[in-house]
Amino acid sequence: MEPRDLSSHTVYRAGRGIEEVARELGIDPGDLVKLASNENMFGPSPAAVDAIRSSAEGMHSYPKASHADLVARIADHWDCETEQVWLGNGGDGALDCLARAMLDPGQRVLVPNPGFAYYPMSARYHHGTVAEYSLSKADDFAQTAETVLEDYDGERIVYLTSPHNPTGAEFSTDAVREIAEDTDEQTLVVVDEAYGEFSDRPSKRSLLADRDDIAILRTFSKAYGLAGVRIGYAIVPETWADAYARINTPFSASELACRAALAAMDDDEHVRKSVETAAWAREYIYDELAADTWKSAGNFVLAEVGDAEAVTDAAQEQGVILRDCSSFGLPDCVRITCGTREDTRRAVDTLNGIVEVTEA
Ligand SMILES: *Cc1c(COP(=O)(O)O)cnc(C)c1O
C-alpha cells in the first residue's frame, strides 16, 4: 500500500540543533553558540521550570483544568472571551486548527514568499492548495497591503507575518485592515505575531473588535522561551469561536506546557529582559556586522553575506550556528538570532572574520 499523493508536500527544515552539531564537530555543546532558531537567549523563565517540576507528579492525568486555566489567563490578557482562545501544540498546532476549521478540500491559501514554511505545509495537510505573494528584496521586503492584494485571487486564507520571519519587516494595522476589507468576506486573514512581543507596534488584535475575518497567532516559543514544550494559540473572532470544539484534537495542549505557559505569563521580568536584550542585539548587529542588514522588529536580523551556505558552514566550524536562508529562497542571506550580549558579540566577530576572508 501507499500513503496518499504527498508529492506536493515539502519537508520542514529546522535550524540545526546544538547536540547534533556538537556531536558532528566532536566538541562540547557548551562551547557552541546557537543563534539559528530564534529561541530565547535566556532560556525559559525560571518560574516555568519550577511549574514543570511541580506539575510532573500529575502527568498521568489528562490536562483539563490546566487548559481551562491557561485559556482564562490568555483571555484576560487580551480582553476577549475564553472561546476565542484556541490553544495548540505550538503556534504551528494553532495554525493547523485554523486550517482545519477553514479549508474545504481543494481550497487555496495565500502565503508569503519568502516566508514561514509551515503555512503551506499546514494547508496541504488539510487538503488545501497554495499560492504565493512575493515580498521583494529590492523593496527591502516591504509589507504593504498592495504587495498582498496584487497577488490575491479569492484565496480562503491569507497569511501575514508581522514581524516577518526571516526579514523582520512589519505590517501596519491600517495595512492589515485594508487587506481584510479588500478581500472576500469568506477570506480569513491570519496575522502571525510569533515575534509580537519584540515589536514596538501594538498587536493587530484590536482589529477583531469590529471584524470577523481576522485571526491572530501567538506563541510561547519565542519571547517566553518555551519552544521545547510546544504551546501557542490563535485568537479568533467571537462569531465563529465555537468551531474549536469541533476541530480540536482532544488534549492538544499538554499539562506541562499549559502549566509552564501560565507561569511564564506571570514572569514579566523575564519577557522584559528578553525583549530589551533583543533590541540591544539588533542594534549591535546593524552597527558592527560587516554585511548589509535589514531593520528587524523580531529577535533576529537578516544579513546579506554572499554564499550563505559556505558562510554558515564556516561559522559552524568555529562553533557559531546560524540559519542559512537558502531554504527561504535567499541563498545569499543568513538569519542571526539575537543572543545574549556575549553570544551576539561572538557571532558578529566570527561572521566578520569569515565575510572579510570571503570578500578578500
Ligand atoms: C516560530 C514561529 C511560529 C510558531 O512556532 P511554534 O514553535 O510552533 O510556536 C509561527 N510563525 C513564525 C513565523 C515563527 O517563526
Q: Is 38 found in the same domain as 116? A: no
The domain boundary residue, chosen from 216, 236, 265: 265
Query: Is 4 part of a structural domain of the chain?
Result: no
Q: Is residue 120 part of a domain?
A: yes
Atom of ligand 1 nearest to the CA of 227: 7
The pLDDT averaged over each successive group of 10 residues in the chain (360 residues) is 89 78 87 95 97 93 93 98 98 98 98 97 96 97 98 98 98 98 98 98 97 98 97 98 95 95 98 98 98 98 97 95 96 98 98 81
**Are residues 255 and 289 located together in one domain of the fold?**
no
Position 360 scores a pLDDT of: 54
Range of the domain at 303: 18-44+268-359
Tell me which residues have their CB closer than 6 angstroms to ligand 1: 90-92, 116, 161, 165, 192, 194, 219, 221-222, 227, 232
**Ligand 1 pocket: which of 221, 226, 302 to mutate (most atoms <8 Å of CB)?**
221
Q: Do residues 316 and 309 lie in contact, with contact meaning Cβ atoms separated by under 8 Å? A: no
Q: What is the pTM of this model?
A: 0.96
Same domain membership, residue 73 and residue 36: no
Which residue has its alpha carbon closest to ligand 1 atom 1? 194
Pocket test for ligand 1, best of 37, 98, 118, 190 (most atoms within 8 A of CB): 118
Q: What is the pLDDT of residue 356?
A: 79
Considering the domain architecture, whether residues 99 and 37 belong to the same structural domain is answered as no
Look at the chain and report how many structural domains it folds into.
2
Q: Which amino acid is at 25?
A: L
pLDDT, residue 358, reads: 65
Please give the pLDDT value at position 57: 92
Sheet holding 320-324, edge to edge: 33-35, 320-324, 333-337, 300-304, 292-293
Q: CATH number of the domain that 333 lies in? A: 3.90.1150.10
CA nearest ligand 1 atom 2, residue: 194
Q: How far is the CA of 234 from the centre of ligand 1 (A)?
A: 12
The Cβ of residue 127 has, within 10 Å, a number of other Cβ atoms equal to: 14
Cα 192 to middle of ligand 1, angstroms: 8
Residue 304 burial (10 A CB sphere; 0-12, 13-18, 19+): middle
